Amino acid sequence: MKPFTKLTAIAAPLPMVNIDTDIIIPKQFLKTIKRTGLGVSAFYNLRYSDDGTPNPDFVLNKPEYKDAEILITGENFGCGSSREHAPWAILDMGFRCVIAPSFANIFYNNSFKNGILPITLPQEQIDELMKEAQNNPDALTEIDLEKQTITRGNKFSFDFDIDHFRKSCLLGGLDDIDLTLEKDAHIKTYEDKLKDDKPWL
């Protein structure tokens, strides 16, 4: 997993609440177990017209946000079914950070496991970030995980909270498999001892 330390990028505003996982990645795209290739289908029903062409009115199709790596959105983001394809699609679309007033619990947890930083902020701060992203799309937003700050040029800076363990995993680029492999020597010692103590197993 790619470490997350500091991200300076364009922020895209998506002022919608209760964006569920079926909106993020519709059910017809859940046939794969690969983490890549889902970005093109992310937000499919919003992003494309009935004939499959890009919907020019959808904010993430606008040229000024095509390189955005930060998504600012509404409360209860990622609600609905517990499909891990949702963070896969978000990440494959290019987003490393999602900022919202609240997240569905399973999506929130899955984001950390896939290298995405989900940040929860008060609604008034979300409103400021959203307005800035809409009015000044070319300006960059800086996310500093070590300092736990969000900075928008010289206009404002917000602090955010994050669990210490999850922060450490993101900074080190450690997913669940990486965390297990860190204990590889202890696992091997245990397995060798088990073979000696109970050779019939």
140 falls within a domain? yes
Q: What pLDDT, in 10s, does the model give residues 141-169?
A: 999 999 999 999 888 899 999 999 999 99
Q: Please, which pLDDT band fits residue 170 given cuts at 50, 70 and 90? A: very high
198 in helix, strand or coil? coil
pLDDT of residue 177: 64
- Report the alpha-carbon distance of residue 193 to residue 176 in Å, rounded: 25
Give the structural domain span for 160: 6-174
Q: What pLDDT, in 10s, does the model give residues 22-36?
A: 999 999 998 888 888
196 falls within a domain? no
pLDDT of residue 181: 59
Q: How many domains does the chain have?
A: 1
199 falls within a domain? no
Q: Kindly state the tokens that stand for 48.
A: 């494309």
121 falls within a domain? yes
Is the pTM above the cut of 0.75?
A: yes
What amino acid occupies position 145?
A: L
Q: CB within 8 A of 139, min separation 6: which ones?
A: 10, 132, 152, 153
DSSP class of residue 77? B
What mean pLDDT comes out for the span 87-110? 97
**Among candidates 84, 42, 71, which has minimal Cα distance to 150?**
71
What CATH number does residue 144 fall under?
Answer: 3.20.19.10
